[in-house]
Amino acid sequence: MKGDFTRFTWDPEKNYSSVRMQQGRVQVDADWNEQADIAQHLRERGVRDLVGPCGAPMEGGGFEVALAGTGDDLLLSPGRIYVDGILCSAPVGLTYRTQEAFPEAPLPPEMDPPPSPLAGRYLVYLDVWRRHVTAVEDSVIRERALGGPDTGTREETLAQVKLFPAGPGAGAPDCAVDPPGWTEFVAPSSGRLRARTQPGEAATDPCIVPAQAGYTRLENQLYRVEVHDGGTLGSATFKWSRDNGSVVTSWLGQG
Protein backbone atom coordinates (compact mmCIF):
# COMPACT_ATOMS: atom_id res chain seq x y z
CA MET A 1 0.00 0.00 0.00
CA LYS A 2 1.38 3.38 -0.94
CA GLY A 3 1.24 6.28 1.47
CA ASP A 4 3.25 8.00 4.18
CA PHE A 5 3.63 5.07 6.58
CA THR A 6 6.57 4.25 8.82
CA ARG A 7 6.21 0.48 8.50
CA PHE A 8 3.73 -2.40 8.43
CA THR A 9 4.12 -4.69 11.44
CA TRP A 10 1.23 -7.16 11.19
CA ASP A 11 2.33 -10.78 10.78
CA PRO A 12 -0.45 -13.42 10.54
CA GLU A 13 1.90 -16.15 11.79
CA LYS A 14 2.20 -14.43 15.19
CA ASN A 15 -1.55 -14.88 15.85
CA TYR A 16 -1.96 -11.48 17.51
CA SER A 17 -5.63 -10.72 18.22
CA SER A 18 -5.41 -7.06 19.25
CA VAL A 19 -3.14 -4.08 19.92
CA ARG A 20 -2.99 -2.62 23.45
CA MET A 21 -2.04 1.01 23.99
CA GLN A 22 -0.09 1.90 27.14
CA GLN A 23 -0.32 5.12 29.12
CA GLY A 24 2.29 7.77 28.56
CA ARG A 25 3.65 6.13 25.40
CA VAL A 26 4.20 7.62 21.96
CA GLN A 27 1.48 6.61 19.52
CA VAL A 28 2.71 5.64 16.06
CA ASP A 29 0.89 4.88 12.83
CA ALA A 30 2.24 1.30 12.74
CA ASP A 31 0.30 0.30 15.88
CA TRP A 32 -2.94 1.83 14.64
CA ASN A 33 -2.61 0.17 11.24
CA GLU A 34 -1.72 -3.20 12.72
CA GLN A 35 -4.95 -3.15 14.74
CA ALA A 36 -6.88 -2.46 11.52
CA ASP A 37 -5.07 -5.32 9.76
CA ILE A 38 -5.75 -7.72 12.64
CA ALA A 39 -9.46 -6.88 12.70
CA GLN A 40 -9.74 -7.20 8.92
CA HIS A 41 -7.97 -10.55 8.91
CA LEU A 42 -10.11 -12.03 11.69
CA ARG A 43 -13.34 -10.80 10.09
CA GLU A 44 -12.56 -12.05 6.60
CA ARG A 45 -11.07 -15.32 7.83
CA GLY A 46 -14.29 -16.02 9.73
CA VAL A 47 -16.44 -15.28 6.68
CA ARG A 48 -14.29 -17.56 4.49
CA ASP A 49 -14.65 -20.39 7.01
CA LEU A 50 -18.44 -20.02 7.06
CA VAL A 51 -19.23 -19.04 3.46
CA GLY A 52 -16.35 -20.57 1.53
CA PRO A 53 -14.44 -19.01 -1.38
CA CYS A 54 -17.52 -17.07 -2.47
CA GLY A 55 -21.22 -16.90 -1.78
CA ALA A 56 -24.28 -14.68 -1.62
CA PRO A 57 -27.12 -14.62 0.93
CA MET A 58 -30.43 -16.20 -0.11
CA GLU A 59 -32.11 -12.88 0.67
CA GLY A 60 -30.27 -9.80 -0.49
CA GLY A 61 -27.78 -11.62 -2.69
CA GLY A 62 -26.38 -9.48 -5.50
CA PHE A 63 -24.53 -9.58 -8.82
CA GLU A 64 -26.94 -11.99 -10.51
CA VAL A 65 -26.36 -11.53 -14.25
CA ALA A 66 -29.05 -11.21 -16.93
CA LEU A 67 -28.89 -10.05 -20.54
CA ALA A 68 -30.53 -6.67 -21.15
CA GLY A 69 -33.43 -6.60 -23.58
CA THR A 70 -31.44 -4.36 -25.92
CA GLY A 71 -28.73 -7.00 -26.21
CA ASP A 72 -25.92 -4.51 -25.60
CA ASP A 73 -25.58 -4.68 -21.81
CA LEU A 74 -25.79 -6.97 -18.78
CA LEU A 75 -28.12 -6.34 -15.84
CA LEU A 76 -26.64 -6.89 -12.36
CA SER A 77 -29.01 -7.48 -9.47
CA PRO A 78 -28.57 -5.29 -6.37
CA GLY A 79 -27.32 -6.84 -3.17
CA ARG A 80 -24.28 -8.42 -1.59
CA ILE A 81 -21.79 -11.16 -2.32
CA TYR A 82 -18.71 -12.34 -0.44
CA VAL A 83 -15.51 -13.15 -2.32
CA ASP A 84 -12.67 -14.66 -0.30
CA GLY A 85 -14.32 -13.20 2.79
CA ILE A 86 -14.54 -9.68 1.32
CA LEU A 87 -17.96 -8.00 1.25
CA CYS A 88 -18.95 -6.63 -2.18
CA SER A 89 -22.13 -4.63 -2.80
CA ALA A 90 -24.04 -3.83 -5.97
CA PRO A 91 -26.35 -0.77 -5.93
CA VAL A 92 -29.81 -0.66 -7.46
CA GLY A 93 -29.77 -0.12 -11.21
CA LEU A 94 -26.22 -1.34 -11.77
CA THR A 95 -25.37 -2.71 -15.21
CA TYR A 96 -22.16 -3.92 -16.80
CA ARG A 97 -21.73 -0.71 -18.77
CA THR A 98 -22.54 1.63 -15.86
CA GLN A 99 -20.10 0.29 -13.28
CA GLU A 100 -18.56 3.18 -11.38
CA ALA A 101 -15.71 0.89 -10.34
CA PHE A 102 -15.08 -0.18 -13.96
CA PRO A 103 -15.81 2.76 -16.29
CA GLU A 104 -15.74 2.15 -20.03
CA ALA A 105 -15.92 -1.61 -19.52
CA PRO A 106 -15.01 -3.31 -22.82
CA LEU A 107 -17.75 -5.13 -24.67
CA PRO A 108 -17.42 -8.27 -26.81
CA PRO A 109 -17.76 -7.53 -30.55
CA GLU A 110 -21.16 -9.21 -30.53
CA MET A 111 -22.48 -6.68 -27.97
CA ASP A 112 -20.93 -3.54 -29.41
CA PRO A 113 -23.29 -1.24 -31.35
CA PRO A 114 -25.29 -1.93 -33.35
CA PRO A 115 -27.04 -3.99 -30.63
CA SER A 116 -27.37 -7.68 -31.36
CA PRO A 117 -27.92 -10.84 -29.32
CA LEU A 118 -24.84 -12.12 -27.53
CA ALA A 119 -22.97 -14.55 -29.78
CA GLY A 120 -20.31 -16.90 -28.52
CA ARG A 121 -19.81 -17.84 -24.90
CA TYR A 122 -18.36 -15.65 -22.16
CA LEU A 123 -17.51 -16.31 -18.55
CA VAL A 124 -18.77 -13.49 -16.31
CA TYR A 125 -16.55 -13.10 -13.27
CA LEU A 126 -16.10 -10.67 -10.39
CA ASP A 127 -12.65 -9.12 -10.00
CA VAL A 128 -12.29 -8.00 -6.36
CA TRP A 129 -9.36 -5.96 -5.11
CA ARG A 130 -8.51 -3.00 -2.89
CA ARG A 131 -6.94 0.35 -3.57
CA HIS A 132 -5.49 3.09 -1.42
CA VAL A 133 -7.42 6.40 -1.43
CA THR A 134 -6.01 9.74 -0.27
CA ALA A 135 -7.52 13.20 0.18
CA VAL A 136 -6.36 14.05 -3.35
CA GLU A 137 -8.75 11.44 -4.75
CA ASP A 138 -11.56 11.99 -2.22
CA SER A 139 -11.61 15.54 -0.85
CA VAL A 140 -14.09 14.62 1.91
CA ILE A 141 -11.25 12.83 3.73
CA ARG A 142 -9.36 16.09 4.24
CA GLU A 143 -10.15 18.00 7.44
CA ARG A 144 -10.55 21.56 6.15
CA ALA A 145 -10.34 23.03 9.66
CA LEU A 146 -6.64 22.12 9.70
CA GLY A 147 -5.96 24.50 6.84
CA GLY A 148 -4.68 22.06 4.25
CA PRO A 149 -2.61 19.18 5.67
CA ASP A 150 -4.10 15.73 5.19
CA THR A 151 -4.56 13.20 7.98
CA GLY A 152 -5.60 9.57 7.52
CA THR A 153 -6.27 7.71 4.30
CA ARG A 154 -8.77 5.05 3.27
CA GLU A 155 -8.79 1.59 1.71
CA GLU A 156 -11.53 0.98 -0.87
CA THR A 157 -12.90 -2.37 -2.03
CA LEU A 158 -13.53 -2.56 -5.77
CA ALA A 159 -15.75 -5.24 -7.31
CA GLN A 160 -15.56 -5.21 -11.10
CA VAL A 161 -17.75 -7.43 -13.27
CA LYS A 162 -15.70 -8.56 -16.25
CA LEU A 163 -16.01 -10.92 -19.21
CA PHE A 164 -13.70 -13.73 -20.30
CA PRO A 165 -14.11 -15.36 -23.75
CA ALA A 166 -14.99 -19.03 -23.23
CA GLY A 167 -15.24 -20.27 -26.80
CA PRO A 168 -18.08 -20.72 -29.32
CA GLY A 169 -21.66 -20.80 -28.17
CA ALA A 170 -22.58 -24.19 -29.59
CA GLY A 171 -23.73 -26.81 -27.11
CA ALA A 172 -24.46 -26.64 -23.41
CA PRO A 173 -21.63 -25.33 -21.20
CA ASP A 174 -19.97 -27.59 -18.65
CA CYS A 175 -19.72 -25.43 -15.54
CA ALA A 176 -17.45 -27.99 -13.86
CA VAL A 177 -14.71 -27.45 -16.46
CA ASP A 178 -12.69 -24.25 -16.76
CA PRO A 179 -12.72 -22.66 -20.23
CA PRO A 180 -9.49 -22.76 -22.25
CA GLY A 181 -6.95 -20.24 -21.00
CA TRP A 182 -8.69 -19.55 -17.69
CA THR A 183 -6.08 -21.25 -15.49
CA GLU A 184 -3.30 -19.20 -17.06
CA PHE A 185 -5.40 -16.05 -16.85
CA VAL A 186 -5.93 -16.25 -13.07
CA ALA A 187 -2.42 -17.49 -12.26
CA PRO A 188 -0.34 -15.14 -10.08
CA SER A 189 2.07 -12.88 -11.88
CA SER A 190 5.58 -14.22 -12.34
CA GLY A 191 7.05 -10.72 -12.61
CA ARG A 192 10.17 -10.03 -10.61
CA LEU A 193 12.19 -6.90 -9.91
CA ARG A 194 15.86 -6.82 -8.97
CA ALA A 195 17.12 -3.44 -7.82
CA ARG A 196 20.47 -2.33 -6.43
CA THR A 197 22.58 0.80 -6.16
CA GLN A 198 25.27 1.52 -8.70
CA PRO A 199 28.46 -0.16 -7.41
CA GLY A 200 31.40 2.15 -6.86
CA GLU A 201 35.10 1.59 -7.15
CA ALA A 202 36.76 -0.16 -4.25
CA ALA A 203 38.49 2.27 -1.88
CA THR A 204 41.62 1.49 0.06
CA ASP A 205 40.82 4.06 2.74
CA PRO A 206 37.72 2.99 4.78
CA CYS A 207 37.04 6.65 5.66
CA ILE A 208 36.60 7.72 2.04
CA VAL A 209 33.41 7.04 0.10
CA PRO A 210 34.03 6.73 -3.66
CA ALA A 211 32.44 9.57 -5.62
CA GLN A 212 30.86 7.08 -8.04
CA ALA A 213 29.17 5.06 -5.30
CA GLY A 214 25.41 4.62 -5.28
CA TYR A 215 23.10 5.61 -2.44
CA THR A 216 25.10 7.41 0.28
CA ARG A 217 22.42 9.46 2.05
CA LEU A 218 21.45 9.03 5.71
CA GLU A 219 17.67 8.58 5.59
CA ASN A 220 15.83 5.40 4.70
CA GLN A 221 13.92 5.28 1.43
CA LEU A 222 11.18 2.91 0.28
CA TYR A 223 11.10 2.66 -3.49
CA ARG A 224 7.79 1.84 -5.13
CA VAL A 225 7.56 0.73 -8.76
CA GLU A 226 4.20 0.37 -10.53
CA VAL A 227 4.16 -1.31 -13.94
CA HIS A 228 1.56 0.01 -16.39
CA ASP A 229 2.34 -2.18 -19.40
CA GLY A 230 4.71 -5.10 -19.26
CA GLY A 231 7.06 -6.01 -22.06
CA THR A 232 10.64 -5.95 -23.16
CA LEU A 233 13.20 -3.26 -22.39
CA GLY A 234 12.17 -0.10 -24.22
CA SER A 235 8.49 -1.07 -24.59
CA ALA A 236 7.39 -1.57 -20.98
CA THR A 237 6.09 1.52 -19.16
CA PHE A 238 6.18 2.17 -15.43
CA LYS A 239 6.47 4.87 -12.79
CA TRP A 240 8.50 4.90 -9.61
CA SER A 241 8.82 6.80 -6.34
CA ARG A 242 11.55 6.78 -3.69
CA ASP A 243 9.11 7.51 -0.84
CA ASN A 244 6.45 4.84 -1.48
CA GLY A 245 4.32 7.21 -3.57
CA SER A 246 3.31 9.17 -0.46
CA VAL A 247 3.67 12.56 -2.19
CA VAL A 248 0.88 13.09 -4.72
CA THR A 249 -0.89 16.05 -6.27
CA SER A 250 -3.99 16.53 -8.38
CA TRP A 251 -3.78 16.98 -12.16
CA LEU A 252 -6.16 19.69 -13.33
CA GLY A 253 -5.40 19.48 -17.06
CA GLN A 254 -3.16 21.02 -19.66
CA GLY A 255 -3.37 23.56 -22.45
Quote the CA–CA distance of 139 and 137 in Å, as a whole number: 6
- Give me the pLDDT at residue 119, please: 62
Quote the CA–CA distance of 127 and 254 in Å, as a whole number: 33
Q: Which residues have C-beta within 8 Å of that of residue 140, sequence separation ≥ 6?
A: none
- Give me the pLDDT at residue 255, please: 66
- Give me the pLDDT at residue 3, please: 84
- Give me the pLDDT at residue 111, please: 58
Quote the CA–CA distance of 157 and 80 in Å, as a whole number: 13
Quote the CA–CA distance of 184 and 23 in Å, as a whole number: 52
Q: Which residues have C-beta within 8 Å of that of residue 194, sequence separation ≥ 6?
A: none
Which segments of the chain are extended strands (E)?
A: 54-55, 65-67, 74-76, 79-83, 86-90, 122-133, 154-165, 224-229, 237-241
- Give me the pLDDT at residue 117, please: 45
Rounded to two decimals, what is the model's pTM? 0.81
Q: What is the pLDDT of residues 202-249, one digit of tens each?
A: 777 777 767 666 666 777 778 888 888 888 888 989 888 888 888 888
66, 79 Cβ separation under 8 angstroms = no
- Give me the pLDDT at residue 141, please: 93
Q: Chain centroid to CA 253: how far?
A: 26
Tens of each residue's pLDDT in the chain, 255 residues = 678 888 899 999 999 999 999 999 999 999 999 999 999 999 999 999 999 999 999 999 999 999 898 888 899 999 999 999 999 999 999 999 999 988 877 776 655 544 444 567 888 999 999 999 999 999 999 999 999 888 999 999 999 999 988 877 667 778 888 888 899 999 988 877 777 777 767 777 777 767 666 666 777 778 888 888 888 888 989 888 888 888 888 888 776
